[in-house]
């Protein structure tokens, strides 16, 4: 998705763009996610600014792209299940409001009006009307097609070519092709660290695994993206250990999607029954009506995680011509348009619409010391 | 094994029951959309409906088209039926019980949950 | 099948609920068809504490599927071949107290026991259709996967009409429920199952106005060695052929049902001749009236569990995948064996032999049981002979590349999600879906209730045809082998202890 957005905005800026992917379109994290375009789960700061800008760009894209991308401004509802969490949520929402987010506190009674199947006894929550959703794979495919870029799927980059002065000259691929270009954009998601390594720099992108449960097709049972207040804390945590919080939402096609788990276990797709148990437990606690609903599919995806939870966007000062657009963790679909715009600005030398400095790709200390040794 | 044919003069055509020499207990009644259907002990809901000439007991979510049993072994889920008010029962696996009320399942079968 | 009264794993209420800690089976056999039944009996007779798990009420699987005892069938064998082998095994199971037969168990996942690296946990739902509120976990030191097969289907216009059913489905409904989908049933597709289906349908009183086979039967003649080594198979084919002749069933070779017609149910089919690539030959279409169609293109191995377990698979002669094993039928994952159709479509005789061999191998590995080498050698010879015949048949009946030409743009390929051929084409040709998985992602084909178990072959063929897929499609990953109620997942006991975290 991020690559498609970069291609789209770069091509729109008049550049000639070729997109390479070793797999199919949406073959990585894009195809494994729910397609969230969220402002609600972000604390005030650079990521929220990126999300707010993206939110506006998505509204425009939804007008330009076919309805098949299933863009829906369904809104998010964050639910607190006790007074302590509600207080924390309230202060987060207040800070978000100050940063320009439309965040509306709702009482327990109003929660049930928003989500009639929500469990009894929830003291309150916050409604975020700006949260939206797309079908991530279809959105990426249609955006890529609309970009007009040359798309070469199934073509794996095996080397980043550099000139004697160290500047990027292009890439070589597994088929033996050499594509020459003054700029290479690294939008390889969870695998971006490898591309960076090919260019001789370190970018500590790590996979953070998540499982999603997909239910049988249902009518609209859940109207918004609904999640428990502890989700925000899980997103912001750097722990490698398993964290689960309920994230429940319906889809245009019928199934309800249930997340979200986070754990750093490498690229291991092995089914974890414990993760499924926790997701089911938390989802049925929010929506007891789902207890009798069957899960027909479960799958794992890998979020491209950087230690400070911010993406790497922009030129890499260590390798002239190398531009990164990666490391969006679980928010890549939502953050893609603004990332694409920032990338296009970097490529054309035009003024960026927001401050790109917090996303500097060389912000991580290079020594081999582990980037993430926070106590758990 | 060689199939033995047990045909009576009045009915020249054998039936599946004849072929295996079935001697089931007395038939009982289930209903399909309110209409009475006879089922034999040991038959699935789908088998009882087939025996009554009923091949469809579900309509699809998208096109609203009729469907019934297809794979017959519980894999395809085309035979989903609402039985005694509970949707999404695989009729080809579910034994028929006396008094079962089978109703045509429309779409996801859970319109009651829609908000 | 009664479970042995001495079964240590049955609790006082008669439930089969085996909670963690209640006991560890030496071997859990998944699937009680010919392979699983033979495997469980062989292992049990060597003294292994064995669980024989199957979704159905009775042993026998699909091949030996019989009517419920309540139907009082005196001659269930009348609709079967080689029943005596099954009857013998059933009798041995009855006298084998080490084996617990657990019917009505729908296995939804098999995972390594998080607390014991050398044990497996088998998760199952219970009840005839898996909706009882009593999920079960079994602990096992070894697994024998004998999960059987599902029928291969190639869509055609009208195949979703009521009255169009799987050939295997018609057989299953007849054998178990003693019912027919109609009185005038066209049997179509490809493979030896069609002969068996037409024979039993006519024996049960149906008219079969056409038996439509996409290949020429002459294909077998190209593999005379294998055929000569399997006189039993040849005799079986002759028996079927004779029965069909007696019932005056018209045979249409090198032909296919290219459309089914009707409004609320099927009323007629179009049958057309096919060329060698299975393209319909213009001008050969004819309309045949019927009130049902039994259609199927052979079987494909059921690989959900072995794929999730990480067992290596191999491509088969007819373009699908089967689990790979060594000569003792051990998969690439230690203490997991596989037998029967999961190893490649081979029929009941090979399944019986492989089940026995796998059961013996598990006994030797898990309990150090002494197995007479001559018995093993005899089984291996038999398996080799039967497999060579099966592979020849599989190659003969592999779908030709031209079958999609009988599709129309609006033919539904995925029955669950009502995804048409045109949308699959768009995803593969226009939207950059280079593999089957992405086609599914972009179209929802294979994303519905059956999770692609019916349409996966067709979607893969179409994706390739329309420009996708550079590599052979790997078997679909289906971590959930059956739909599971959220409540059943939520009520699983929590795993204690922290998950191991990745060292960074």
DSSP C40-86: HHHHHHTT--EEEE-SSSSSSTTTT----GGG-BS-GGGG-SSHHHH
Q: Among the three residues C343, C371, C399, which one is the final residue of a domain in this structure?
A: C371
Which residues in chain C are closer than 8 Å to A147, comparing Cβ atoms?
none
Subunit contact A254:B114, Cβ cutoff 8 A: no
Q: Which residue of A has its CA nearest to C310?
A: A270
ipTM of the assembly? 0.91
Q: What is the DSSP string of A194-226?
A: HHHHHTT-----EEEEEEEEEEEE-SS---SEE
What burial class does residue A96 get, using C-beta atoms within 10 Å of its C-beta: 0-12 exposed, 13-18 middle, 19+ buried? buried
**Does A199 share its domain with A166?**
yes
What phi-psi label fits residue C248: left (phi over 0), alpha (psi between -120 and 50 degrees) or beta? left
Confidence (pLDDT) at C305: 96
Which residues in chain C are closer than 8 Å to A253, comparing Cβ atoms?
417, 444, 447
Number of domains observed in the structure of chain A: 2
**Does A151 share its domain with A58?**
yes
Q: Among the three residues C274, C297, C320, which one is the final residue of a domain in this structure?
A: C297
**Does A54 share its domain with A7?**
yes
Query: The CATH number of the domain where A47 resides is what?
Result: 3.50.50.60
**Does C223 share its domain with C278?**
yes
Does some domain include residue C459?
A: yes
**Does A120 share its domain with A108?**
yes
CB proximity under 8 Å: A 290-309 to B: 293-294
Q: Which residue of B has its CA nearest to A287?
A: B113
Confidence (pLDDT) at C79: 87
A153 to chain C, any CB pair closer than 8 A? The answer is yes
Indicate the residue of A115, A116, A219 with minimum beta-carbon distance to B110: A219
**Does A255 share its domain with A346?**
no
Domain containing A313 equals 2-67+136-205+308-359
Indicate the residue of B50, B67, B93 with minimum beta-carbon distance to C129: B93
Query: The CATH number of the domain where C429 resides is what?
Result: 1.10.10.1100
3-class secondary structure per residue, chain B: CCCCCCCECCECCCCHHHHHCECCCCCEEEEECCEEEEECCCCEHHHHHHHCCCCCCEECCCCCCEECCCCCCCCCCCCEEEECCEEEEECCCCECCCCCEEECEECCCCHHHCC
The count of C-alpha atoms lying within 13 angstroms of the C-alpha of C134, restricted to the half-sphere facing its C-beta, is 14
CA distance A90 to A80: 10
CA distance C54 to A308: 49
**Does C117 share its domain with C39?**
yes
**Does C127 share its domain with C188?**
no
CA distance A343 to C312: 42
**Does C268 share its domain with C313?**
no
Does some domain include residue C485?
A: no
**Does A99 share its domain with A122?**
yes
CB proximity under 8 Å: B 43-82 to C: 43-44, 46-48, 50-51, 55-56, 60-63, 65-78, 80
**Does C163 share its domain with C287?**
yes
Which ranges of chain A have pLDDT less than 70? 366-376
Q: Among the three residues C275, C297, C319, which one is the final residue of a domain in this structure?
A: C297
**Does A171 share its domain with A153?**
yes
The radius of gyration of chain A's CA atoms, rounded to the nearest angstrom, is: 20
**Does A340 share its domain with A213?**
no
Subunit contact B50:C83, Cβ cutoff 8 A: no
C162 to chain B, any CB pair closer than 8 A? The answer is yes
Query: The CATH number of the domain where A238 resides is what?
Result: 3.30.9.10
**Does C226 share its domain with C312?**
no
Subunit contact B42:C67, Cβ cutoff 8 A: yes
Indicate the residue of A217, A220, A221 with minimum beta-carbon distance to B61: A217
Cα separations in angstroms, C24 against A287, C119, C367: 36, 9, 13
Confidence (pLDDT) at C473: 58
Does some domain include residue C188?
A: yes
**Region B27-44 average pLDDT:** 98
**Does C222 share its domain with C326?**
no
B22 to chain A, any CB pair closer than 8 A? The answer is no
Subunit contact C434:A24, Cβ cutoff 8 A: yes
**Does A296 share its domain with A216?**
yes
Please report how the helices C348-367 and C373-397 are oriented relative to each other, as an axis angle in degrees rounded to 10. Answer: 140
- Predicted TM-score (pTM) of the model is 0.91
Confidence (pLDDT) at C232: 65
Q: What percent of chain A has pLDDT over 70?
A: 97
Q: Which chains form contacts with chain C, at 3 or more CB pairs under 8 Å?
A: A, B
Confidence (pLDDT) at C235: 62
Domain containing C82 equals 24-150+300-371
**Does C39 share its domain with C145?**
yes
Three-state SS at C89: helix
Q: Above 70 in pLDDT, residue B40?
A: yes
Does some domain include residue A157?
A: yes
Give the long-range contacts of residues C443-447, CB within 8 A, separation 24 or more. C443/C414, C443/C417, C443/C419, C444/A253, C444/C414, C444/C417, C444/C419, C445/C413, C445/C414, C445/C417, C445/C419, C446/C414, C446/C417, C446/C476, C447/A214, C447/A253, C447/A255, C447/A297, C447/C414, C447/C416, C447/C417
Cα separations in angstroms, C344 against C65, C106, C301, C320: 20, 22, 6, 9
Indicate which of C164, C173, C238 best probes the interface with B, i.e. most B CBs within 10 Å of its own CB: C173
Does some domain include residue A99?
A: yes
**Does C159 share its domain with C279?**
yes
Number of domains observed in the structure of chain C: 3
**Does C145 share its domain with C158?**
no
Does some domain include residue C241?
A: yes
**Does C160 share its domain with C81?**
no
Our CA-based measurement puts residue C97 at a distance from the nearest CA of chain B, in whole angstroms, of 27
Query: The CATH number of the domain where C210 resides is what?
Result: 3.50.50.60
Confidence (pLDDT) at B13: 83
Subunit contact A254:B111, Cβ cutoff 8 A: no
Q: Which residue of B has its CA nearest to C178?
A: B16
CA distance C450 to B79: 11
Q: What tokens appear for C229 in the block? A: 């080594």
Does some domain include residue C479?
A: no
C-beta atoms surrounding A353 within 10 Å: 14
Does some domain include residue A159?
A: yes
Q: Which chains form contacts with chain B, at 3 or more CB pairs under 8 Å?
A: A, C
Which residues in chain A are closer than 8 Å to B113, comparing Cβ atoms?
117, 218-219, 221, 289
C264 to chain B, any CB pair closer than 8 A? The answer is yes
B110 to chain A, any CB pair closer than 8 A? The answer is yes
What's the sign of the alpha-carbon dihedral A268, A273, A278, A284? positive
Confidence (pLDDT) at C86: 96
Q: Which residue of C has its CA nearest to B72?
A: C169
**Does A9 share its domain with A150?**
yes
Which residues in chain A are closer than 8 Å to C489, comparing Cβ atoms?
213, 276-277, 279-281, 295
Confidence (pLDDT) at C244: 72
What burial class does residue A364 get, using C-beta atoms within 10 Å of its C-beta: 0-12 exposed, 13-18 middle, 19+ buried? middle
A213 to chain C, any CB pair closer than 8 A? The answer is yes
Q: Which residue of C has its CA nearest to A211?
A: C479
**Does A89 share its domain with A159?**
no
**Does A210 share its domain with A342?**
no
CA distance C32 to C148: 9
Does some domain include residue A19?
A: yes
Our CA-based measurement puts residue A369 at a distance from the nearest CA of chain B, in whole angstroms, of 52
Q: Which domains does chain B have, with CATH numbers?
A: 25-106 (3.10.20.440)
Q: Above 70 in pLDDT, residue B66?
A: yes
Q: What tokens appear for C436 in the block? A: 């089957």
What phi-psi label fits residue C239: left (phi over 0), alpha (psi between -120 and 50 degrees) or beta? alpha
B20 to chain A, any CB pair closer than 8 A? The answer is no
Subunit contact C480:A269, Cβ cutoff 8 A: no
The count of C-alpha atoms lying within 13 angstroms of the C-alpha of A279, restricted to the half-sphere facing its C-beta, is 27
Subunit contact C179:B50, Cβ cutoff 8 A: yes
Which residues in chain B are closer than 8 Å to C55, comparing Cβ atoms?
74, 93
Which ranges of chain C have pLDDT less than 50? 1-21, 218, 471, 497-504
Indicate which of B58, B67, B110, B114 best probes the interface with A, i.e. most A CBs within 10 Å of its own CB: B110
Q: Which chains form contacts with chain A, at 3 or more CB pairs under 8 Å?
A: B, C
pLDDT tens digits, one per residue of A170-199 = 999 999 999 999 999 999 999 999 999 999
Subunit contact A137:C442, Cβ cutoff 8 A: yes
Does some domain include residue C496?
A: no
Subunit contact C487:A292, Cβ cutoff 8 A: yes
Closest CA to C260 of A185, A71, B70: B70
Q: Which residue of B has its CA nearest to A115?
A: B115
Which residues in chain A are closer than 8 Å to C500, comparing Cβ atoms?
265
Subunit contact C264:B93, Cβ cutoff 8 A: no
Angle at the Cα of A19 (from A14 to A22), degrees rounded to 5?
175
**Does C261 share its domain with C308?**
no
């Amino acid at each position: 998705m991020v690559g498609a957005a970069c291609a789209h905005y770069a091509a729109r800026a008049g550049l000639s763009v070729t997109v390479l992917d070793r797999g199919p379109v949406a073959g990585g994290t894009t195809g494994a996610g729910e397609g969230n375009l969220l402002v609600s789960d972000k604390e005030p700061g650079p990521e929220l600014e990126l999300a707010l800008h993206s939110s506006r760009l998505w509204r425009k894209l939804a007008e330009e792209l076919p309805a098949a991308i299933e863009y829906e401004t369904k809104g998010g509802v964050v639910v607190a299940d006790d007074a302590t969490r509600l207080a924390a949520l309230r202060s987060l929402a207040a800070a978000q409001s100050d940063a320009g987010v439309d965040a509306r506190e709702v009482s327990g009674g109003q929660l049930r009006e928003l989500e009639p199947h929500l469990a009894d006894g929830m003291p309150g929550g916050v409604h975020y009307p700006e949260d939206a959703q797309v079908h991530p794979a279809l959105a990426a495919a249609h955006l890529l097609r609309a970009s007009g870029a040359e798309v070469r799927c199934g073509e794996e980059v095996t080397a980043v070519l550099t000139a004697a002065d160290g500047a990027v000259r292009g890439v070589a691929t597994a088929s033996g092709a050499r594509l020459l270009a003054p700029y290479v954009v690294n939008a390889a998601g969870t695998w971006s660290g490898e591309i960076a390594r090919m260019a001789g720099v370190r970018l500590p992108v790590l996979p953070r695994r998540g499982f999603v449960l997909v239910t049988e097709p249902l009518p609209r049972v859940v109207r918004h993206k609904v999640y428990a207040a502890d989700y925000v804390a899980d997103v912001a945590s750097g722990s490698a250990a398993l964290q689960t919080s309920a994230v429940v939402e319906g889809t245009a096609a019928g199934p309800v999607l249930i997340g979200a788990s986070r754990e750093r276990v490498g690229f291991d797709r092995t089914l974890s029954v414990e993760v499924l148990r926790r997701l089911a437990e938390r989802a049925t606690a929010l929506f007891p009506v789902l207890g009798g609903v069957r899960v027909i599919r479960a799958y794992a995806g890998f979020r491209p995680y950087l230690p400070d939870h911010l993406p790497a966007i922009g030129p890499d000062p260590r390798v002239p011509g190398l531009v990164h657009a990666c490391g969006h963790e679980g928010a890549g679909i939502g953050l893609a348009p603004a990332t694409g715009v920032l990338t296009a600005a970097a490529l054309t030398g035009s003024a960026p619409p927001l401050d790109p400095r917090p996303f500097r790709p060389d912000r991580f200390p290079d020594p081999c010391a582990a980037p993430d040794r926070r106590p758990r | 094994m060689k199939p033995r044919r047990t045909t009576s003069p009045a009915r020249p055509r054998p039936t599946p029951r004849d072929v295996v020499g079935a001697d089931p207990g007395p038939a009982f009644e289930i209903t399909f959309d309110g209409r009475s259907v006879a089922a034999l002990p040991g038959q699935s809901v789908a088998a009882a409906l087939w025996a009554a000439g009923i091949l469809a007991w579900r309509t699809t979510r998208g096109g609203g088209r009729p469907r019934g049993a297809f794979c017959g072994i519980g894999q395809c889920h085309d035979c989903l039926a609402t039985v005694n008010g509970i949707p999404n029962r695989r009729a080809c696996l579910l034994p028929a019980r006396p008094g079962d009320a089978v109703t045509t399942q429309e779409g996801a079968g859970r319109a009651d949950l829609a908000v | 099948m009664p479970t042995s009264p001495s079964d240590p794993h049955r609790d006082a209420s008669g439930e089969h609920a085996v909670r963690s800690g209640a006991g560890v089976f030496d071997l859990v056999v998944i699937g009680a068809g010919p392979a699983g039944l033979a495997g469980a009996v062989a292992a049990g007779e060597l003294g292994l504490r064995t669980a024989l798990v199957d979704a159905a009420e009775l042993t026998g699987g699909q091949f030996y599927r019989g009517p419920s005892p309540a139907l009082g069938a005196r001659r269930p064998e009348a609709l079967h071949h080689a029943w005596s082998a099954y009857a013998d095994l059933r009798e041995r199971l009855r006298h084998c107290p080490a084996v617990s037969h657990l019917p009505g168990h729908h296995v939804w996942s098999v995972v390594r026991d998080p607390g014991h690296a050398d044990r497996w946990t088998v998760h199952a739902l219970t009840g005839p259709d898996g909706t009882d509120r009593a999920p079960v976990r079994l602990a096992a030191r070894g697994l024998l996967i004998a999960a059987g097969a599902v029928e291969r289907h190639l869509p055609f216009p009208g195949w979703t009409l009521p009255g169009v059913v799987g050939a295997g489905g018609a057989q299953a409904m007849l054998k178990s429920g003693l019912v027919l989908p109609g009185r005038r049933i066209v049997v179509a597709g490809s493979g030896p199952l069609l002969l068996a289906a037409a024979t039993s349908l006519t024996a049960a009183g149906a008219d079969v106005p056409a038996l439509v086979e996409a290949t020429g039967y002459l294909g077998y003649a190209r593999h005379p060695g294998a055929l000569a080594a399997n006189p039993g198979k040849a005799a079986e084919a002759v028996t079927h052929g004779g029965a069909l002749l007696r019932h005056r069933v018209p045979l249409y070779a090198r032909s296919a049902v290219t459309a089914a017609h009707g409004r609320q149910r099927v009323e007629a089919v179009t049958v057309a001749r096919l060329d060698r690539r299975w393209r319909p030959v213009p001008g050969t279409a004819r309309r045949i009236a019927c009130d049902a169609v039994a259609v199927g293109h052979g079987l494909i191995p059921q690989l959900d569990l072995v794929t999730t377990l990480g067992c290596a698979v191999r491509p088969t002669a007819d373009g699908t995948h089967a689990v790979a094993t060594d000569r003792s039928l051990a998969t690439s994952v230690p203490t997991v064996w596989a037998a029967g159709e999961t190893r490649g479509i081979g029929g009941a005789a090979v399944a019986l032999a492989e089940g026995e061999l796998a059961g013996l191998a598990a006994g030797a590995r898990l309990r150090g049981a002494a197995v007479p080498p001559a018995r093993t050698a005899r089984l291996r010879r038999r398996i080799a002979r039967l497999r060579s015949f099966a592979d020849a048949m599989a190659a003969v009946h592999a779908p030709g590349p031209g079958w999609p030409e009988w599709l129309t743009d609006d033919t539904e390929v995925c029955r669950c999600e009502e995804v048409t051929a045109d949308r699959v084409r768009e995803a593969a040709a226009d939207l950059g879906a280079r593999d089957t998985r992405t086609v599914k992602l972009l179209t929802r084909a294979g994303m519905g209730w059956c999770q692609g178990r019916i349409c996966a072959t067709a979607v893969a063929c179409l994706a390739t045809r329309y420009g996708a897929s550079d590599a052979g499609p790997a078997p679909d990953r289906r971590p959930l082998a059956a739909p599971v109620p959220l409540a059943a997942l939520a009520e699983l006991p929590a795993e204690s202890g922290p998950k191991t975290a990745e060292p960074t």
